[in-house]
Structure 1
Amino acid sequence: MKVLSAADVRRAVPMSTAIDAVREAFRELAAGKFVLPPRQIFGNGSVLVMSAYHTPTGTAVVKKIGIALDQVPAIRATVIWTGGGDQLVADGGSITTLRTGAVVGVATDLLAPADASRLTVIGTGAQAPDQVRAVLAVRRIADVTITGRNADRAAALSTALAGEFPEVKFTPSTSIEDSLDADVICCATSSATPLFDVGALPDRVHVNAIGAFRPTMRELPRNLLASASVVLVDQIEAALEESGEIIDAIDSGALKTTDLLELGQALSAPPQTSGRTVFKSVGIGPQDWAIAAALARA
């Protein structure tokens, strides 16, 4: 049995590799090559169990996540991957942030303007750094604004990422409204209410939202979902079960289920885009499988 720490995960799977692995996993999901049981949710979302079985290889992944938003880190998880006689146990927190960043990289590459150069990340928690790494892996970003309620945390994260990407300008901010003039916006918060109004956004922008993972949480306003040229989700079934933004928009009549496009399908037939586009992710098992499989091969 191979046991891997967070540092081991980072050394073995760089973001570019993670993006390629997750992209292929979504193509295979759309082709029916995964058995994907519903996510098990306990304690009002404080404990999650996710699994996926890859039929072509006979390999499977199970992830247990403990979430405590008032603690640091907020996510504590363990991933178990099995295949044949092999078994891998790895730090699930690092896999979760890596695969969440990777799926945002896939969606951004698909939907964001080809000439995008300005990125804003709203949120300074554990997910934020991989949101930056993923978008920088697929677009030539020159300016990044890190926005959070705590000025010290926004400044510290900006400084750390500037050391990693010295060619990029990083600016910390505590004002969401002043940070929205961007080509790509990544929302990575635990907000229960929309972070901004659609009228404050540029006419052309791609928005990723990965922070809200419960029906009671919302990062995006319903009028953004109603007016976007594309509303992309990782999986419709999961979004209807767990995404507060999607549930609210559909319940209010602002959005129909038929307006949603799954990522795997979009990779096979890229949609026409204009104006504003949205990717909403709640995370599904094939993403964890993709990273774990890459670790097993490393």
Structure 2
Amino acid sequence: MELLVLSKEDLLKISDAETLVDSVKIAFSSFSSGKMKQPERHVDFVKGNWWGTMIGFNDQMFGIKIVNVINENRLKGLPAVNGVAILFSADTGEPQCLTEGSTLTALRTASASVLSTWLALRKKSIGTLGIVGAGDEAFYHAKLAQEFFSIEKIMITARKSHIDLAMKLGLLAVDKVKLLNSADVIFSTTSSQDPVILGKMLKDNFHVSSIGAHTPSSRELDDDVILKARTIMVDSKEAVFRESGDLIIPQNEGLLNDKNVVEIGDIINNGYTIDTPSIFKTVGIASQDVFTLSSVCKKAKEEGVGKLIKL
């Protein structure tokens, strides 16, 4: 049998915003309709660092991703997020495609933020986009947003490194107050344990996609953001209310009693209209990885990208 292996460079060579956004759209739709099965994400902590194993499958394919977050790697000049993802045939059980997992994660996560924004705005133009954070996720969020939308201005802020990223991508480096006061859409891509998006500083109408805060005690969004939002989109209700303090804490405080919390897959499947201001809270689900991997592997085979290895 032959296994197609895709490096980070291969992934970036064949990935485009339209294809990636379409892939996560199908992924969310399939998850919420029950067509894609995925066991609960298995999480371990090794030397205090987060390791996750994510599995998703349907009648055609079976995918698994193993990923970790080692924040201390930044001090060593190494990537903080590492992993691999592999796709199998559900019919024969043969492994079909293997790819570097951290870039796959970043691409599918950024695609989800872009998709949530399109669903909230229902147009492919943004006035001012604000990005909070300056890591890999911030980079790919800016890159895919620039490809997918027509954007008048992109602002970025972070504790450090955002000036370099701004110069690299042609963004405007600003302080957090200016960004929160000015942005129509905000992508929050931090590893912060405490809120970085403050509702009192936001415009009356906004859309915020929050991809950080993956533990029950951590938050990117403060109470005021939750109170202002009319619609709260999530990738998986079960996963978000199990894993993220951004919704767990407000729920425990009784702030979600009259809020419309809906899975993004249900919005797609039922054609719901989103009332803004809106939030998209994502912790990432296996369905995103499987459909994105399937899509990029198919494209790689068509374009002759990657390396075939005989097993």
User: By the TM > 0.5 criterion, same fold?
Assistant: yes
Count matched residues: 286
Residue 273 of structure 2 aligns to a residue whose secondary structure is coil
Q: Which residue of 2 aligns with 1:20?
A: 22
CA distance, structure 1, for counterparts of residue 217 and residue 87 of structure 2: 31
Shift in Å at residue 45 of structure 1? 5.9
CA distance, structure 2, for counterparts of residue 248 and residue 161 of structure 1: 35
Shift in Å at residue 24 of structure 1? 1.2
What are the equivalent positions in structure 2 for 1:79-90 lying under 5 Å apart? Answer: 79-83=85-89, 84=92, 85-90=94-99
Contact 1:28–1:34, Cα closer than 8 Å, also in 2: yes
Q: Which residue of 2 aligns with 1:8?
A: 10
Higher relative contact order (CA 8 A, sep 6+): 2
CA distance, structure 2, for counterparts of residue 88 and residue 113 of structure 1: 34
Letter aligned with residue 104 of structure 1: S
CA distance, structure 1, for counterparts of residue 82 and residue 17 of structure 2: 20
Unaligned runs of at least 5 residues, structure 1: 163-169
CA distance, structure 2, for counterparts of residue 107 and residue 277 of structure 1: 9
Deviations 1:205-236 (A, max 9, x none): 10000022111220001232233111000010
Give the alignment's TM-score, normalised by structure 1. Answer: 0.91
Counterpart among 148, 160, 182 of residue 168 in structure 2: 160
Q: Which residue of 2 aligns with 1:216?
A: 217
Give the alignment's TM-score, normalised by structure 2. Answer: 0.87
Counterpart among 67, 70, 84 of residue 69 in structure 2: 67
Shift in Å at residue 257 of structure 1? 9.2
Task: Provide the aligned C-alpha RMSD in A.
Answer: 1.7
Shift in Å at residue 272 of structure 1? 3.5
Counterpart among 102, 111, 128 of residue 111 in structure 2: 102
What are the equivalent positions in structure 2 for 1:130-279 lying under 5 Å apart? Answer: 130-150=140-160, 153-162=161-170, 170-173=171-174, 175-180=175-180, 181-256=182-257, 259-279=260-280
Deviations 1:267-287 (A, max 9, x none): 123443444110000000010
Contact 2:120–2:276, Cα closer than 8 Å, also in 1: no
Letter aligned with residue 287 of structure 1: Q
Deviations 1:126-184 (A, max 9, x none): 1001211333344321210111111xx1121112212xxxxxxx2112x2111111110
Letter aligned with residue 26 of structure 2: E
Counterpart among 25, 32, 35 of residue 34 in structure 2: 32
Contact 2:119–2:274, Cα closer than 8 Å, also in 1: no
**Using a 3 Å threshold, how does the CA distance of structure 1 residues 192 and 2 change in structure 2: closer, same or farther?**
same
Unaligned runs of at least 5 residues, structure 2: 300-311
CA distance, structure 1, for counterparts of residue 30 and residue 41 of structure 2: 19
Q: Which residue of 2 aligns with 1:46?
A: 50
CA distance, structure 1, for counterparts of residue 186 and residue 120 of structure 2: 12
CA distance, structure 2, for counterparts of residue 86 and residue 231 of structure 1: 37
Contact 2:200–2:224, Cα closer than 8 Å, also in 1: no
**Which 4+ stretches in 1 moved above 6 angstroms?**
none
Contact 1:108–1:135, Cα closer than 8 Å, also in 2: no
CA distance, structure 2, for counterparts of residue 20 and residue 138 of structure 1: 11
**Using a 3 Å threshold, how does the CA distance of structure 1 residues 257 and 263 change in structure 2: closer, same or farther?**
farther
**Using a 3 Å threshold, how does the CA distance of structure 1 residues 274 and 296 change in structure 2: closer, same or farther?**
closer
**Using a 3 Å threshold, how does the CA distance of structure 1 residues 45 and 281 change in structure 2: closer, same or farther?**
farther
CA distance, structure 1, for counterparts of residue 177 and residue 196 of structure 2: 9
CA distance, structure 1, for counterparts of residue 108 and residue 272 of structure 2: 23
Contact 1:232–1:279, Cα closer than 8 Å, also in 2: yes
Letter aligned with residue 7 of structure 2: S
